[in-house]
């Protein structure tokens, strides 16, 4: 096959079209409206570990514009404008992510539900997944639920909320980590993605909830345990498929988290990024109580056909796009 050609079997295109049609029907039946929001923005995602593509400015007063890493900020501006329940099948971009499970350009299915709490949205996430598994003739076990804390206790017998940073560093070193000291979050990420996730390959759907508050991003603090937040992930056979929040509505907390991200980026010699003041103004004017989740479409497609590499479902992969 020569490099100009679509590098996957054409049936992958048909599967993807079918997958997207099923998703649209799922949300159509539930009265969730499909939206399209801008791909280029004058503001950026400040996440510590996500790298943004920058491009020419779209506003005369600005230096640069940015390709979105998720449609989340625009969705919240819509929700605060009174849109009601929405979803988008959104092309997004993250610099430097090329692995078996990553491509710099990919697609997020993101949706928001007014009045849903985290549990409601986890249930809807699973309902969608179970439906798609049936449509793709993939036999799957019932999805299991576990808190982040129980997951750590069950698989590596530590309580992530009751260990010191230095103990965590020693533990990670003992399990093969080499390099500069890990932050608390870095150490927990190591344990989660290097030590636990590979053990989950025999488990079908798994919903993990109540992540540490340091990893809250745009999720609410858990009112019952302020060390944790109302964030969840959906994993399938150890692969992260979705990330969801009961959304933070408090503008001051959100601004602090963004500023904290920017400070961290500065300390780690990463590029400075403009905060999304529109998003913060939207939160200030009032975001309705809601929960939202983002699902990687290509990963979902991979899981549904049990592919090993994202290239199998992306005929125009980063390396031949």
Partner 1 sequence: MSGVYSTNQFKSGLKIMLDGDPCSIVENQEVKPGKGQAFNRVKIRNLKTGRMIERTFKSGEKVDGADVVETEMQYLYSDGTFYHFMDPESFEQVQASEEAVGDQKIWLKEQDMCMITLWDNVPILVTPPNFVELTITETDPGVRGDTSGGGSKPATLETGAVVNVPLFVPQGEVIKVDTRSGEYVSRVKK
Summarize as ranges the residues that interact with partner 1 (CB under 8 A): 47, 49-50, 97, 99-102, 176-180, 182, 185-186, 189-190, 192-194, 215, 217, 233, 240, 243, 296
CB of 231 to partner 1, least distance (A): 9
Closest CB to partner 1 among residues 80, 229? 229
By C-beta, is 65 or 160 nearer to partner 1?
160
By C-beta, is 35 or 219 nearer to partner 1?
219
Q: Kind of pairing, strands 105-114 and 64-67?
A: unpaired
The 10 Å CB-count burial string (b at 16+, else e) for 242-277 is bbbbbbbbebeebbebbeebbebbeeeebeebbbbe
The CB-of-177 to partner 1 minimum distance in angstroms stands at 5
N-to-C CA span, the chain: 15
State whether residue 287 is helix, strand or coil.
coil
- Report, in Å, the least distance between residue 294 CB and partner 1: 8
Nearer CB in complex with partner 1: 112/234: 234
The nearest distance, CB 31 to partner 1, in angstroms, is: 28
DSSP 196-210: IGGGGTT--EEEEE-
Report the nearest approach of partner 1 to the CB of residue 296 (Å).
8
Q: Report the distance separating Cα 154 and Cα 270, nearest Å.
A: 36
Which structure tokens are listed for 214? 């340091």
Q: 155: how many CB neighbours lie within 10 A of its CB?
A: 16
Residue placing its CB nearer to partner 1 in the complex, 83 or 183: 183
């Amino acid at each position: 096959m020569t490099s100009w050609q679509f590098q996957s079997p054409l049936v992958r295109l048909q599967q993807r079209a079918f997958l997207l049609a099923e998703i649209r029907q799922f949300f159509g039946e539930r009265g969730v409206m499909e939206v399209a929001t801008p791909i280029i923005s004058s503001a950026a995602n400040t996440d510590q570990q996500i790298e943004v593509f920058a491009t020419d400015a779209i506003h005369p007063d600005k230096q640069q514009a940015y390709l979105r890493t998720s449609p989340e900020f625009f969705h919240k501006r819509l929700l605060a404008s009174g849109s009601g329940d929405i979803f988008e099948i959104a092309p997004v971009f993250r610099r430097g992510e090329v692995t078996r499970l990553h491509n710099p350009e990919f697609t997020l299915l993101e949706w928001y539900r007014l009045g849903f709490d985290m549990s409601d949205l986890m249930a809807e996430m699973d309902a969608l997944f179970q439906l798609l598994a049936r449509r793709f003739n993939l036999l799957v076990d019932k999805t299991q639920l576990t808190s982040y804390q129980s997951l750590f206790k069950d698989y590596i017998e530590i309580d992530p909320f009751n260990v010191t940073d230095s103990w965590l560093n020693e533990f990670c070193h003992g399990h093969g980590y080499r390099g500069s000291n890990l932050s608390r979050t870095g150490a927990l990420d190591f344990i989660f993605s290097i030590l636990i996730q590979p053990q989950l390959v025999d488990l079908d759907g798994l919903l993990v909830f109540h992540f540490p508050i340091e990893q809250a991003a745009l999720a609410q603090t858990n009112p019952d345990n302020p060390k944790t937040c109302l964030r969840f992930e959906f994993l399938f056979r150890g692969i992260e498929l979705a990330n969801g929040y009961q959304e933070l509505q408090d503008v001051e907390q959100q601004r602090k988290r963004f500023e904290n991200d920017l400070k961290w980026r500065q300390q780690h010699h990463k590029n400075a990024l403009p905060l999304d003041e529109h998003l913060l103004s939207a939160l200030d004017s009032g975001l309705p109580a809601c929960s939202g989740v983002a699902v990687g479409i290509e990963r979902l497609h991979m899981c549904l056909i049990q592919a090993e590499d994202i290239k199998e479902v992306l005929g125009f992969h980063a390396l031949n796009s």
